[in-house]
Amino acid sequence: MTKKQIAIIGGGPAGLMAAETLSLLGHRIAVYDSMPTVARKFLLAGKSGLNITHSEDYSVFATRFGAASARLRTALDDFQPDDIRAWAEGLGTETFVGSSGRVFPKVMKASPLLRAWLARLETRDVSIMTRHRWCGFEDDGLVFETPTGRELVHHDAVLLALGGASYARLGSDAAWVSWLHDKGIDIATFQPANCGFDVTWSATFSERFAGEPLKAVTATSEVGTFPGEFVISKTGIEGSLVYTHAAALRDRLAKKGEASLIVDLAPGRDEERLARDLTRQDPKASFSNRLRKGAGIEGVKAGLLRELDDPTVLSHPEPLARLIKALPIPLLRPRPIAEAISSAGGIRWDELDERYMLKKLPGMFAAGEMIDWEAPTGGYLLTACFATGRAAARGIDSWLKAS
């Protein structure tokens, strides 16, 4: 039987997982990527330790994708975190669970896993065409800009796995949006996800504390209260604890025009104890000494209290204790999408059938961050990219067999 020819546009985790799945189902695959090498964002994520998935109970894990959780569930069920760990170990990459529950390769890098993965794909009739930039449709084919000029190609089925709109310099520039719009595909506007926020710092505070981490704090927004840490930047705040709340804060800013991240600077002490301990301090002592001795707060935490509240409030133990337990950091705006770890928005779910095929473009499928979903950091993003790539590949195989 003649093998079907399938084009996968985008050589990130979703596209490569789809290529692997389809190759095992007996198809011939060509992966097209605009960059000189594939999976550049994957490699960037793995520079400081590739967070490949998460070890929390799967019933909780599957709810981490917001409004898209129900729609993603079938794909996630079919390729769960334990399956991803087994897949990585099959490529020679052992994994371990960190203290936060996140799962990492023992080598703490993405490159060995990617090299082994690409080597395996080479043995499975998968061709990878780098420096091939998709630039739209022509007649019933796809047009690519290549090192040797424009090229029109035809395939039996196509998977789009071009990513969202963050880190455009690594290839996911969302240029495809206009071409799908022209085909009548409804696409939710891309927004930054897992991003930092601008805050109106004084020049003095910014110069002194930019780059300083706030450790051992909790932060609260509409999504709940979580422990962790974040960093003061020159323009605002960023870091893992901020990213946990980013979607809720971004959406509140869009709807209400204002939003604050509520920070508990001393989660180990309740408000009554703080007020009592602060009251015991010598009123003639400096604010820094009273705060350090009465609340165990100094450095950037003390600077943040001074920055964000009136000195008259800070001089009274009871209101100061309340502020320490619930300090609002008023936000101006999310940082630009080019800086965001990931993006929200993309092809709306109503445009896809259960096989991840575009209803208006039979034979064309989509996977990964092109679709309208978002997730926090912690391995959720990669897991969903792997899972949707695999699900779309099986959808392609099903459609081809029925055609």
Q: ∠ CA 142-144-148 to the nearest 5 degrees?
A: 140
Pair 244, 262: CB distance under 8 Å: no
In a domain, 339, yes or no: no
- 174/311 same-domain check: no
pLDDT on residue 56: 97
pLDDT on residue 312: 83
Q: Which of 12, 14, 3, 2 is nearest to 365 (CA)?
A: 14
- 348/211 same-domain check: no
Neighbours of 61 (CB within 10 A): 21
- 299/237 same-domain check: yes
- 354/300 same-domain check: no
Q: Among residues 315, 334, 353, which one ends one of the domains?
A: 334
pLDDT on residue 6: 97
- 380/396 same-domain check: yes
In a domain, 100, yes or no: yes
CATH number of the domain that 143 lies in?
3.50.50.60
Mean pLDDT over residues 265-270, rounded?
96
In tens, the pLDDT along 237-248 reads: 999 999 999 999
Q: What are the C-alpha distances in Å from 273 to residues 280, 295, 321?
A: 11, 9, 9
Q: Which of 294, 353, 284 is nearest to 320 (CA)?
A: 294
Mean pLDDT over residues 215-226, rounded?
96
- 27/139 same-domain check: yes
- 177/252 same-domain check: no
pTM, two decimals, is 0.93
Handedness of CA 188, 190, 191, 195 (dihedral sign): positive
pLDDT on residue 111: 94
- 319/212 same-domain check: yes
Please give the residue range of the domain that contains residue 207: 197-334
pLDDT on residue 139: 86
Mean pLDDT over residues 135-164, rounded?
95
Mean pLDDT over residues 374-397, rounded?
96
Asked if residue 1 has pLDDT above 70, the reply is no
Q: Rounded CA gap, 67 and 344, in Å? A: 11
- 226/185 same-domain check: no
In tens, the pLDDT along 281-327 reads: 998 899 999 999 999 999 999 999 999 988 888 889 999 999 999 99
In tens, the pLDDT along 52-97 reads: 999 999 999 999 998 999 999 999 999 999 999 999 999 999 999 9
Token pair 């961050």 in the structure block, residue: 369
- 245/317 same-domain check: yes
Q: What is the mean pLDDT of the chain?
A: 95
When divided into structural domains, the chain yields a total of: 2
Q: Which residue did the predictor score with more confidence, 47 or 283?
A: 283
Q: Among residues 285, 316, 334, which one ends one of the domains?
A: 334
- 152/17 same-domain check: yes
pLDDT on residue 313: 82
Asked if residue 48 has pLDDT above 80, the reply is no
